[in-house]
Amino acid sequence: MKAPRFTRTAHIGGLLACALLALTAYVVVDNWGDAWTTPATPATSQAPNTASHAQPQSAQIERGQYLARAGNCVACHSARGSAPMAGGRRIDTPFGAVYSSNLTPDTHTGIGRWSPEDFWRALHHGRSQDGRLLTPAFPYNHTSVITRADSDDLLAWLQSLAPVNQPTPAHTLMWPLGTQPALAIWRSLFFSPTPFKPDPAQTADWNRGAYLVQGLGHCAACHSPRNALGASGAVDDLSGGLMPVVNWYAPDLTSDHETGLATSALSSIVQLLRTGESAQAQTSGPMAEVVQHGTQYMSEADLLAMAVYLKSRAQKAAATAAPPKPPLQAKVSLAVAAKGLQIYDRHCAQCHGEQGQGIATAAGATAYPALAGNRAVLLSDPTNLVQMVLYGGYGPATALHPRPFGMPPAVLELDDRDIAAVLTHLRTQWGNQASDVTPLQVNRIRAAQGH
């Protein structure tokens, strides 16, 4: 005899309710359970080459300032025209805008009432003092790598700043993405704290570099692909990707074809991180900001450690990579080729040379980079080239390279066909072999920036 239909329906409904209750309990425990199970003061761990935080307060503050610079904290936590670290900077995401927090020691709008445990919990678990889940625009997957010692030093420096009473504007994320339940589900899907664990098979420099790249440097926040829900790769994923909203391509740091890290001298990598330019490359776009506010202030030892780690990762990838595919042979019409040459001669040759050889300063530094053999020119994704031609820009002004030469914007002077033609010229001349750039590609990038 069959059970009545309403009985089967009730049974299924009961199972679904139990499953939903179990899922809710899991998400709650996953996001807040540590507050009930961990001691009030987490055990102190040490990063490679990190001294104990039991030191005079002035030394702790100085170290905290160094760590904040290494993490480029000022770039996000300082709005234009406001005091440094007072927050309020608008950070656009594909889902709406997020505003950075006030990290000055103001007791009403900042972190003046935060304890070292509160601050460490924010870095390690992505939760505010009151237990509120923070949005992943704050890269807490990377800050969870940071040790308790470094967390305490960072807080010591922040608490030494002048307090600034500046409330953080409300986020404007599309509903329900900014709600606590939605954030909790997202975190259960994509976030788990990853405290740093040194690799005993590697050198001290390699481990120090890994700690800086994966943690404070949060390099994978840009140099890894993001999925449809905005989650980036693991903290050590450096496989490159298109940065949403800002529309810059962050190259694959494990690919020698895209970055040359596997074959570059360590001194050249250090120079690029310290000054923003080397004989092989120049920084621009978001990376220029990283050098401007962050890496130029780092010690020689730490920059060398980062270079050792990055070069090792690139060499390991090169050893297992498939043989490179033959370069694409662009099919360029005579009309496009003539237009590209004409625009190059008129707008580019004076700085980059008739043969794309670039120009050096009297001191031997790069004034205008060579375009012949330039990896940035040869990237399969031409996004960065289009961005540079449209909007121009300067490299970072650093202590060892205080007056970088710049490039004027052409957004109002050249149309999509002009830009496509001149970039196709760059990618097919002087031995360069890359695909052509189409007006449609240029138009999409221009439209994404609202121009």
Between the CA of residue 428 and those of 170, 378, 389, what are the distances in Å?
48, 9, 17
Please, are residues 356 and 341 in contact by the beta-carbon 8 Å criterion?
no
Mean pLDDT along residues 425-446: 94
Please, are residues 360 and 434 in contact by the beta-carbon 8 Å criterion?
no
Please, are residues 146 and 216 in contact by the beta-carbon 8 Å criterion?
yes
Between the CA of residue 244 and those of 34, 222, 309, 429, what are the distances in Å?
32, 9, 26, 31
pLDDT value at residue 169 = 95
**Six-digit token pair at 136?**
């992943």
Question: Distance between CA atoms of 378 and 373, rounded to whole angstroms?
Answer: 8
**Residues in a beta bridge with 91:** 98
Mean per-residue pLDDT over the chain, rounded: 89
Lowest model confidence (mean pLDDT) among 64-73, 272-281, 413-422, 436-445: 272-281
Mean pLDDT along residues 377-402: 92
* Residue pLDDT, tens place only, 29-53: 667 677 666 554 444 445 565 544 4
- 160 pLDDT exceeds 50? yes
Q: Which residues contact 333 (CB under 8 A, 6 or more apart)?
A: none
* Residue pLDDT, tens place only, 161-218: 999 999 999 999 999 999 999 999 999 999 999 999 999 999 999 999 999 999 999 9
Please, are residues 206 and 312 in contact by the beta-carbon 8 Å criterion?
yes
Cα 47 → chain centroid: 21
Burial label, 447 (beta-carbon count in 10 A; 0-12, 13-18, 19+): exposed
pLDDT value at residue 281 = 84
The residue with greater pLDDT, 41 or 138, is 138
**Six-digit token pair at 9?**
């329906």
Please, are residues 118 and 126 in contact by the beta-carbon 8 Å criterion?
no
Going by C-alpha positions, the residue among 269, 300, 254 that lies closest to residue 399 is 300
Please, are residues 364 and 422 in contact by the beta-carbon 8 Å criterion?
no
Instruction: Report the half-sphere exposure of 291 (CA within 13 A, side-chain side).
Output: 27
Share of the chain above pLDDT 90, in %: 75
- 26 pLDDT exceeds 70? no
Give the predicted TM-score (pTM) of the model.
Answer: 0.89
Question: Distance between CA atoms of 107 and 85, rounded to whole angstroms?
Answer: 14
SS (H, E, C) 349-398: HHHHCCCCCCEECCCCCEEECCCCCCHHHHCCCCHHHHHHHHHCEECCCE
Tell me if residue 100 falls in helix, strand or coil.
Answer: coil
Mean pLDDT along residues 115-131: 96
Lowest model confidence (mean pLDDT) among 28-37, 87-96, 97-106, 358-367: 28-37
